[in-house]
């Protein structure tokens, strides 16, 4: 473990399946067949974190990632989770 990232050294079928299953778990259609298949964009941070956790755990089970305690895994997810922060732009003057 390099201390900065959850290091996954290879891809496995299990990882792909874990990602797909994690996304499916967040589908609004699971509770309401008339609801959208994919979760709303406003939930993107929770959804991507859920998928990242599932992928990391599967990579550990498949032996292509260093084992981490649940606490260490959550700390790594938090440390490496990017949340965009955009400045508020204001127009100064007028354009001609």
Supply the mean pLDDT for the chain.
89
14-28, 37-51, 75-89: segment of lowest average pLDDT: 75-89
CA 82/CA 73 separation, integer angstroms: 16
Going by C-alpha positions, the residue among 46, 50, 68, 59 that lies closest to residue 13 is: 59
Q: What proportion of the chain, given as a percentage, has pLDDT over 70?
A: 91
Task: Kindly tell me if the per-residue pLDDT of 96 is higher than 80.
Answer: no
At residue 82 the predicted structure's pLDDT band, cuts being 50, 70 and 90, is: confident
pLDDT at 91: 80
- DSSP bridge pairs for 65: 8
* pLDDT score for 83: 84
pLDDT > 90: percent of the chain: 70
Confidence (pTM)? 0.79
The domain segmentation of the chain, as residue ranges, is 13-80
d(CA 40, CA 36): 8
Which pLDDT belongs to residue 1?
44
Query: Does position 8 have pLDDT exceeding 90, yes or no?
Result: no
């Amino acid at each position: 473990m390099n201390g900065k990232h959850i290091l996954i050294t290879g891809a496995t079928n299990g990882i792909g399946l874990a990602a797909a299953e994690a996304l499916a778990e967040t589908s609004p259609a699971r509770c309401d067949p008339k609801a959208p298949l994919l979760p709303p964009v406003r939930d993107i941070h929770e959804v991507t974190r859920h998928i990242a956790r599932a992928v990391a755990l599967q990579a550990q089970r498949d032996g292509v990632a260093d084992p981490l305690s649940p606490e260490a895994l959550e700390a790594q997810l938090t440390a490496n989770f990017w949340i965009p922060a955009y400045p508020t732009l204001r127009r100064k003057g007028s354009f001609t």
